[in-house]
Amino acid sequence: MSSILTGKILDSAIVNGVSVVTSLFGDKKGGCAASWFAQVSFAPVLIMVSLTEQRYTYSLIKKSSLFNINILADNQLDLGQHFGLKSGHSLDKFKDITHSPGKNTAPIIPHCKAYAECRLIDTFKAGDHNLLIGEITHFSEDTTKTALLFKGVDYW
Ligand SMILES: Cc1cc2nc3c(=O)[nH]c(=O)nc-3n(C[C@H](O)[C@H](O)[C@H](O)COP(=O)(O)O)c2cc1C
């Protein structure tokens, strides 16, 4: 057993799903893969996603105070790769991806396991990431689907 905590060790020891976190500011849409997300409160229902400031999606969330967490189903690995391996700083990732506006206007990706529409209520610095806390304003789940689990080998 190793006592050295590295990203790689934690990735294999902690079970996470994969989401595409989306946001919108003006006519700019952003979306990035995020495996560091979790429900963190019952009342109110709060959800957390951990993003670095370098993410294009992060910049849109900070400007608009809204985001959606699209929780991928186990047949949507291609979407995790699409939104996780290139940045909206240099291209429009939504150009060839089917999506629709949520009630909060930020993009919803169809056929996911679930999605949560959120209003940003707080941000905390956590090392080289920032914890974005969202109050869920709308939630939808397809109970027939199974969530995609994060495995580093699928991406790198
Ligand atoms: C499966 C997967 C999970 C990821 N999880 C996170 C995460 O939790 N937080 C984060 O800041 N970046 C995460 N990333 C990296 C971003 O998705 C990636 O840097 C993306 O290109 C950022 O896009 P953007 O600049 O358009 O927002 C993940 C990448 C992959 C492939």
Question: Cβ-count burial of 10 within 10 angstroms (0-12 exposed, 13-18 middle, 19+ buried)?
Answer: exposed
- Ligand 1 center to 34 CA (angstroms): 5
- Ligand 1 center to 122 CA (angstroms): 20
- Ligand 1 center to 37 CA (angstroms): 11
Ligand 1 atom nearest to 150, measured from its CA: 1
- The pLDDT of residue 13 is 86
Q: Where are the domains of the chain?
A: 16-154
Question: How far, in Å, CA of 67 to CA of 61, rounded?
Answer: 6
Q: Which CATH architecture has domain 16-154?
A: Roll (2.30)
Walk along the chain (156 residues) and give the pLDDT tens digit of each residue.
445 566 666 677 899 999 999 999 999 999 999 999 999 999 999 999 999 999 999 999 999 999 999 999 999 999 999 999 999 999 999 999 999 999 999 999 999 999 999 999 999 999 999 999 999 999 999 999 999 999 999 999
pLDDT digits (tens, 9 = 90+) for 64-82: 999 999 999 999 999 999 9
